Amino acid sequence: AQKITQTQPGMFVQEKEAVTLDCTYDTSDPSYGLFWYKQPSSGEMIFLIYQGSYDQQNATEGRYSLNFQKARKSANLVISASQLGDSAMYFCAMSSLQNHKLVFGAGTILRVKS
Amino acid sequence: GAVVSQHPSRVICKSGTSVKIECRSLDFQATTMFWYRQFPKKSLMLMATSNEGSKATYEQGVEKDKFLINHASLTLSTLTVTSAHPEDSSFYICSASPLTSGGADEQYFGPGTRLTVT
């Protein structure tokens, strides 16, 4: 069974600073994908970044980067130069290429302070 | 980009009635659609996996007779909450996986439907 753990229920960050949102995972599948989604108060799920388990390099998408440490089974999200609009709930998720289902973590609420 | 719509975005219904929620992939064909349920400030819980032309696969603990899923075409899946009760009030989100997605890692989410049962 797959499991995603996000240990930070809530985080604060000062505007323009960087913040790291933690995510650890557990799976017995040899091939899997890791995702981060942002969910603002409107409820929509916004895809941020993806990391494949066999990708050699850490994924980056603009101000988002994924710190993938396979041996530690962690996939932390780093947001650089935080903006007020980054305030939202953030979910880490993983999928197995065997069943294609997404398993989500509990989420982290991020608040950016001005 | 890939767009998924849901209709309605909000619905209020009386206890005992049924409610249908539509999930459409607007600019791509989806072999697989997923239905999730989310309680306030909680995570998304997968309810069922819907494959075009076949019966949906429900997650453990989800009543298939309560939550009817139909995936009649490659662009439309529907979730019907039958005989709704107040405890069915929740945020329902669908996602769609494109036909061209070899590993089916890609899932595009709809904007969600907020159901309130009075």
- Mutation choice for B interface testing from A25, A34, A45 by most B CBs within 10 A: A45
Q: Tell me if B43 and A101 make a contact (CB, 8 A cut-off).
A: no
Given a cut of 90, is residue A99 above it in pLDDT?
A: no
> What's chain B look like in SS3?
CCCEEEECCEEEECCCCCEEEEEEECCCCEEEEEEEEECCCCCEEEEEEEECCCCCEECCCCCCCCEEEEEEECCEEEEEECCCCHHHCEEEEEEEEECCCCCCCCCEECCCEEEEEC
Q: What is the pLDDT along chain B (118 residues), one digit of tens a residue?
A: 689 999 999 999 999 999 999 999 999 998 889 999 999 989 999 999 998 888 899 999 999 999 999 988 999 999 999 999 999 999 999 999 886 655 446 789 999 999 999 9
Task: Give B95→chain A minimum CA distance, Å.
Answer: 10
Would you state the pLDDT for residue A101? 87
What pLDDT was estimated at residue B100? Answer: 62
Which pLDDT score, from 0 to 100, does residue B103 have?
46
Q: Identify the pLDDT of residue B101.
A: 53
How many CB atoms lie under 10 A from the CB of residue B18? 11
Q: Which pLDDT band holds residue A51 (cuts at 50, 70, 90)?
A: very high
Closest partner residue to A43 (CB to CB) among B97, B105, B112 is B112
Return the percentage of chain A with pLDDT > 70, whole number: 100
Q: Any chain B CB within 8 A of the CB of A100? A: yes
pLDDT tens profile A6-26:
999 999 999 999 999 999 999
Residues of B in contact with A95 (CB under 8 A): 104-105, 107
pLDDT at A75: 98
Residue-wise pLDDT for A68-86, tens only, equals 999 999 999 999 999 999 9
Q: What is the per-residue pLDDT for B104?
A: 44
Other residues' Cβ atoms within 10 Å of the Cβ of residue B80:
14
pLDDT at res. A82 = 98
Query: What residues of B are in contact with residue A101 (Cβ under 8 Å)?
Result: 34, 46, 49
More confident residue, A13 or A99: A13
Q: Does B49 touch chain A (CB under 8 A)?
A: yes
What is the chain B residue with the closest CA to A95? B105
Which residues of chain B make contact with A55, given a CB cutoff of 8 A? none
Cα nearest neighbour of B102 on chain A? A97
From A96's Cα to the closest Cα of chain B, the distance in A is 8
Chain A residue with the nearest C-alpha to that of B104: A100
